[in-house]
Amino acid sequence: MKIRVERQIFDDESTLGELLIDGVEQCYVLEDKVREVPDQPVEEWKVPHLTAIPYGTYKLIINHSQRFNRDLPLLLNVPGFSGVRIHPGNTSVDTEGCLLVGRRRGADFVGESRAAFGLLYPKIVAAINAGDEVTVEIAKADGYLEKNPIGE
């Protein structure tokens, strides 16, 4: 299974995008602000707890989260980050580099997050249980400006 997060809307608070599975749109995603500087080490541009993970492709597993006391998807080997998960949440306050999913979005916000997660999680579990490798690609969508057009 190939999950692709297409970052679309960038502003000073957060980054909004869409999550696709094997090319099919599934839900929206909210992340922290993108601060990545190409060809610079993560420690040069990362602001702890306020920074989106680097662009790239990461293997995804399911394991137990001590923080949330439940099994959640975990992205592996993210440079400069640890514990990067996909989970419910609504604003950048709810994430420390993680991917928050939602069924609707607004300025610096995703809504119906638990419902979106409830639809996404079983698909990931089924793929892993079937022996598929699950990857998450973080990419920038074509044609989007680095400002937030929602609500304008």
pLDDT tens digits, 100-147: 999 999 999 999 999 999 999 999 999 999 999 999 999 998 765 544
Please tell me the predicted confidence (pLDDT) of residue 143: 61
Classify domain 2-140 by CATH number.
2.40.440
Please state the φ and ψ torsions of residue 150, each to the nearest 5 degrees.
-65, 130
Calculate mean pLDDT across residues 10-36. Answer: 96
Please tell me the predicted confidence (pLDDT) of residue 150: 47
Per-domain boundaries in the chain: 2-140
Flag whether pLDDT at 81 surpasses 70. yes
Burial of 92 (0-12, 13-18, 19+ CB in 10 A): buried
Calculate mean pLDDT across residues 15-42. Answer: 96
CA 112 to each of CA 72, 94, 109, 122: distance values in angstroms, whole numbers, following the listed order: 18, 14, 10, 17
Share of the chain above pLDDT 70, in %: 93
Please tell me the predicted confidence (pLDDT) of residue 144: 58
